[in-house]
């Protein structure tokens, strides 16, 4: 693939051309020249877009695509197309398919579905067999097949001894263990944040305590085992405090927050719209503020879309019975920019790579082209026309967002909307 990107502003603090507006020549998938003006005598494809900005390719540490087994929600090929259109060059795929991805063969299968794609797919293997929380899955075998982490997606590990053993075992090969932060006996059948709104609306509450007890337990286990832990999608102010203290003790822990938990609160539930039924639940503005501060001071390592397509039959029903989840790839950049500067938003979308073993390419001559293309300055109302996903269950429909994506240049390919 050969291309000439014209008049692009580079947003990459590791680039020699950070904040400069330049042309970028790409030959056979590699950046061969960056300069103020580059001629095109070989008539390469030119990419000229309004207010074009480019950055290192973005990474999402938690996406779900359904396939195999839930193809009505999403298939891998369209999920990767959605990621590309949304500016992501790499995604980590959760194991919550049917069957659950818990073996060498399963990892090999989902990787094969992403062959020859512009977007890199990094499979996350289930931590336990069938994600049932009873027996460890084939962690080492899945590592050899290409798994980058182990996670029973949104299924808490209730047995602390099992989590202890997982951390100890995975440490033998530097495996990353993920633990969903929820104590199920405390959360019970709660479907919304236990607070004023859940009481007012008559919805069963899932208290912040359920998350914080699990986080505290896992941090104690991490300290004991000296393992490697990632806590996905935290949602409470106290969780931020607990992880900050653990990092001060030099524990090998990272965490993420879902973008919708940064912006939306349980005030959104007044209309019982199931697009806002997510796990962990939307919390209070106090929690949102603490999560934002946690990102600013580095306590929280990365953001995720926690992209989870759910078909209409499982969303257009009573709130109590609807499935948890929202799609988030398409709205990620525009939503983040309502809170942060463009530079900070890009940092949040790229800085989780090293934790999940994803390679990084700076925007410099000689590097592989792994680029996200976007316009950071457009304000618009997010609607279904902006959605590439098969499922349309976005919590951001009707929200005013800032910044649109054009696509990506990655893996020797160009994908533009």
Burial class (CB in 10 A: 0-12, 13-18, 19+), 341: exposed
DSSP designation for 136 = B
Torsion angle of C-alpha atoms 405, 410, 416, 417, degrees rounded to 10: -60
Cα–Cα distance measured from residue 9 to residue 372, given in angstroms and rounded to the nearest whole number: 12
Cβ atoms within 10 A of the Cβ of 366, count? 9
- Domain definitions of the chain by residue range: 3-53+364-378+402-416, 54-356
Which one is the CATH code of 54-356: 3.10.129.10, 1.10.1040.10, 3.20.20.140, 3.90.550.60? Answer: 3.20.20.140
Which one is the CATH code of 3-53+364-378+402-416: 2.30.40.10, 1.10.10.10, 1.10.10.60, 1.10.3720.10? Answer: 2.30.40.10
Three-state DSSP class for residue 126: coil
Cα–Cα distance measured from residue 260 to residue 331, given in angstroms and rounded to the nearest whole number: 10
What is the torsional sign of CA 338, 342, 346, 347? negative
Cβ atoms within 10 A of the Cβ of 200, count? 10
Cβ atoms within 10 A of the Cβ of 248, count? 9
Cα–Cα distance measured from residue 383 to residue 348, given in angstroms and rounded to the nearest whole number: 24
Q: How many residues does the chain have?
A: 417
Cα–Cα distance measured from residue 129 to residue 119, given in angstroms and rounded to the nearest whole number: 28
Nearest to 92 by CA among 166, 183, 176: 176
Q: Tokens 């494809």 map to which residue?
A: 45
Q: Tokens 């020549």 map to which residue?
A: 25
Pairing mode, strands 3-11 and 21-27: antiparallel
Among residues 106, 152, 218, 306, the one annotated as catalytic is: 306
> Could you list the pLDDT tens digit for every one of the 417 residues in the chain?
999 999 999 999 999 999 999 999 999 999 999 999 999 999 999 999 999 999 999 999 999 999 999 999 999 999 999 999 999 999 999 999 999 999 999 999 999 999 999 999 999 999 999 999 999 999 999 999 999 999 999 999 999 999 999 999 999 999 999 999 999 999 999 999 999 999 999 999 999 999 999 999 999 999 999 999 999 999 999 999 999 999 999 999 999 999 999 999 999 999 999 999 999 999 999 999 999 999 999 999 999 999 999 999 999 999 999 999 999 999 999 999 999 999 999 999 999 999 999 999 999 999 999 999 999 999 999 999 999 999 999 999 999 999 999 999 999 999 999
Three-state DSSP class for residue 281: coil
Q: Indicate if 16 belongs to the active site.
A: no
């Amino acid at each position: 693939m050969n291309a000439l990107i014209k008049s692009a502003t580079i947003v990459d603090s590791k680039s020699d051309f950070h904040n400069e507006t330049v042309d970028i020549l790409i030959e056979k998938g590699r950046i061969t020249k960056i300069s103020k003006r580059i001629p095109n005598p070989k008539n390469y494809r030119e990419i000229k877009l309004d207010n074009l900005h480019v950055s290192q390719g973005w990474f999402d540490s938690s996406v779900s695509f359904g396939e195999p087994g839930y193809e009505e929600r999403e298939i891998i090929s369209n999920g990767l197309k959605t990621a590309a259109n949304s500016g992501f060059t790499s995604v980590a795929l959760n194991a919550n398919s049917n069957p659950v991805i818990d073996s060498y063969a399963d990892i090999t299968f989902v990787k094969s579905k992403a062959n020859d794609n512009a977007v890199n797919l990094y499979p996350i293997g289930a931590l336990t067999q069938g994600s049932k929380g009873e027996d460890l899955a084939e962690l080492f075998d899945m590592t050899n097949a290409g798994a980058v982490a182990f996670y029973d997606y949104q299924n808490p590990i209730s047995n602390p001894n099992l989590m202890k053993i997982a951390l100890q075992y995975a440490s033998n090969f530097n495996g990353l263990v993920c633990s969903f932060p929820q104590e199920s006996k405390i959360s019970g059948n709660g479907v919304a944040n236990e607070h004023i709104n859940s009481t007012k609306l008559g919805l069963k509450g899932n208290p912040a305590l359920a998350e914080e007890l699990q986080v505290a337990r896992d941090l104690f286990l991490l300290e004991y085992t000296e393992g490697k832990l990632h806590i996905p999608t935290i949602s409470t102010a106290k969780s931020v405090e607990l992880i900050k203290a653990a990092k001060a003790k030099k524990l090998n822990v990272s965490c993420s927050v879902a973008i919708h938990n940064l912006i939306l609160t349980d005030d959104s539930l007044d209309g019982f719209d199931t697009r806002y039924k997510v796990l962990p639940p939307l919390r209070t503005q106090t929690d949102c503020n603490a999560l934002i501060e946690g990102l600013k001071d580095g306590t929280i390592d990365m953001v995720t879309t926690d992209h989870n397509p759910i078909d209409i039959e499982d969303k257009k029903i009573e709130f109590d019975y609807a499935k948890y989840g929202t799609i988030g790839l398409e709205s990620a950049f525009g939503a983040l920019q309502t809170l942060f500067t463009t530079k900070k938003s890009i940092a949040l979308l790229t800085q989780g790579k090293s934790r999940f073993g994803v390679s990084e390419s700076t925007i410099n001559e000689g590097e592989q082209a792994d680029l996200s293309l976007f316009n950071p300055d457009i304000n618009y109302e997010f609607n279904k026309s902006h959605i590439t996903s098969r499922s349309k269950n976005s919590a951001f429909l009707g929200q005013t967002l800032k910044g649109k994506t054009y696509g990506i240049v990655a893996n020797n390919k160009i994908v533009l909307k």
